[in-house]
Structure 1
Amino acid sequence: MMTEERTALSQDDLTLVLDCERRIVNAWPSPATLLIGDWVVRFAGGYSGRANSASPLKPGAQLDEKTLALIEELYRADGLPPCIRLTPLVGEATRDLVLARGYEVKDASLGLVRSLTDVVFEAEPDLQIEARPSQEWVAGVAARQTGIKADPVKLSAIVDAVRLPAAFATWMVAGEPVAFGMSVAERGMAEIGSVVVDPAHRGHGYGRRLIGGLMGWARAMEADWAYLQVDRTNAVALGLYGSLGFRQLYTYETRVLDLAE
């Protein structure tokens, strides 16, 4: 499927996929990162698939059996299941090798993009943007997540490592924080992520306005594109992003190998 998708992508879109995949490493940095050939191998204590997986950074990137075994051992040594992201950048032989090894789908996601050339920054009095993640921002995001993503320590380890221009946004209603999100700008593109809205305040458009504010911030940082990654089963988020002008650029799978094999 990934090879077919790569073939179907225009050269411009394949270049855009590469731009997104390379930048996400810096926009969502893992506490530990290794470069192994044309792959980036990341470790973040199990918090999020992107931050705890091996990802290709070049079209047609390959792994031989010996290198894949090395990556698997590195994850096992860290107490994590070996995890590979199969994006349109992965080579066909490596995709076949990963499937033959028995890696199973953990998540299936979409990469979305939007041109920002029509966006104008407008100050929103209810939107607070900080250049660094405050304890309140980290706690607010973590409190509205579930499972391991509710761990503020693991979240902090990632966002505190951001070194590029960033916006950590909070939407306030009558002095109460009700929605959170972030954006990181790098070389003409800005990632948008960690968007959460308090369950008691959903349905009022706060998430939409927060994302709009982040898009305006990104444009003010001279970004021409916004990009993000979302689970393809998240119909609510996909509907929201689609209504904001985002389009699907590519799909990818996060596949894991059971530690108990």
Structure 2
Amino acid sequence: MVGATELQERAARAVPAEYVTRIGSWWLRHAPGCSWWIGSVLPHMPYGSTSVSSRAELDGLISAAEAYTAERGIPTLMQMTPGAVPPELDAILAARGYERQVSVSLQTATTSEVLALAPTGSLRVRLDEEPTREWFDVWHGITGGDPDPKWRLLRRIEEPSAYVSVELGDETVAVGRAVAEAGWAGVFNMATRPEARGKGAAGAVLAALAGWAAANDVPWMYLQAEHENETAMRLYGRVGFSELVPFYFRVLER
């Protein structure tokens, strides 16, 4: 069982920002045109550590992150995962004027449990191992935003991936994707058309992703969901996911 640090860094590779700079164990990221959290700083401790070596070192890392984001004209967004970040960081950021925002659940499950619990139903399912424009157009149609940087993000992914589409009648109504790395499959981009919600489409996506993971000898799965998204939280709980750790963001606006 890996820890939160490893999973968050696997997620960062599964949803790769366009620009990434590493300063020690911190990841400074910039993802223009993509979801805001993809450009968050990962202020991680080195593996096996319980903090950085000194307050001066920590202040230096914070200042480097702030300079990085200031140069790009974006807020400084710190992803605060307990166990992954220095325990003193939260109080330091609060004193510097960072606001606490957005509570997220990092969840895990065994692939076998998801396979056993996720409903399959009679919906038609398609699985591709590369992003297709059909899959993307459905996902983008549900989520919106600028399509070009989001398509480029998918093309940057290097790890084995699965892209699932679920059809109801003649229409694709739900999509999701998974990225596998070293025994874990991360679930991302779950989206269902409003008219198809409550009809098992999202569960069918998860079942197909778990089936792909099992076929590729990937025994564990993980995902991230905002606590406020009660529908998603209920779904993931029904198919075997449970919270490994909650995390949140500290934001310094400019």
Indicate whether the TM-score tops 0.5: yes
CA distance, structure 2, for counterparts of residue 82 and residue 119 of structure 1? 36
User: Aligned pair in 2 of structure 1 residues 192, 84: CA closer, same or farther (>3 Å)?
Assistant: same
User: Aligned pair in 2 of structure 1 residues 125, 209: CA closer, same or farther (>3 Å)?
Assistant: closer
Report if the CA contact (8 A) 2:25-2:44 is conserved.
yes
CA distance, structure 1, for counterparts of residue 195 and residue 234 of structure 2? 20
**Match among 185, 198, 203 for residue 180 of structure 2:** 185
Give the CA deviation at 1:85: 0.6
Aligned to 1:25: 12
User: Equivalent residues in 2 for 1:136-155 (5 A)?
Assistant: 136-146=134-144, 150-155=145-150
- Measured against aligned partners, the alpha-carbon deviations of 1:70-92 in whole angstroms (never above 9, x if no partner) come to 21121122221111011111112
SS in 1 for 2:97: coil
SS in 1 for 2:156: coil
Report if the CA contact (8 A) 2:107-2:222 is conserved.
yes
CA distance, structure 1, for counterparts of residue 214 and residue 161 of structure 2? 12
SS in 2 for 1:223: coil
- The amino acid of 2:18's aligned partner reads P
Aligned to 2:210: 215
- The reply on whether 1:41 has 2:28 as its aligned counterpart is yes
The CA RMSD over aligned residues, in Å, is 2.1
TM-score, normalised to structure 1's length?
A: 0.86
Give the CA deviation at 1:172: 1.4
CA distance, structure 2, for counterparts of residue 187 and residue 245 of structure 1? 21
CA distance, structure 2, for counterparts of residue 178 and residue 136 of structure 1? 12
SS in 2 for 1:236: helix
User: Equivalent residues in 2 for 1:151-230 (5 A)?
Assistant: 151-230=146-225
- Structure 2: runs of 5 or more not aligned: none
CA distance, structure 2, for counterparts of residue 225 and residue 162 of structure 1? 20
Report which stretch shifted further, 250-259 or 90-99.
Answer: 90-99
User: Aligned pair in 2 of structure 1 residues 61, 84: CA closer, same or farther (>3 Å)?
Assistant: farther
Give the CA deviation at 1:173: 2.0
Report if the CA contact (8 A) 2:107-2:245 is conserved.
yes
Give the CA deviation at 1:145: 1.3
- The reply on whether 1:135 has 2:133 as its aligned counterpart is yes
Identity of aligned residues (%): 26
SS in 1 for 2:249: strand
SS in 1 for 2:75: coil
**Match among 63, 69, 72 for residue 75 of structure 1:** 69
- Structure 1: runs of 5 or more not aligned: 1-11
SS in 2 for 1:97: helix
Give the CA deviation at 1:174: 2.5
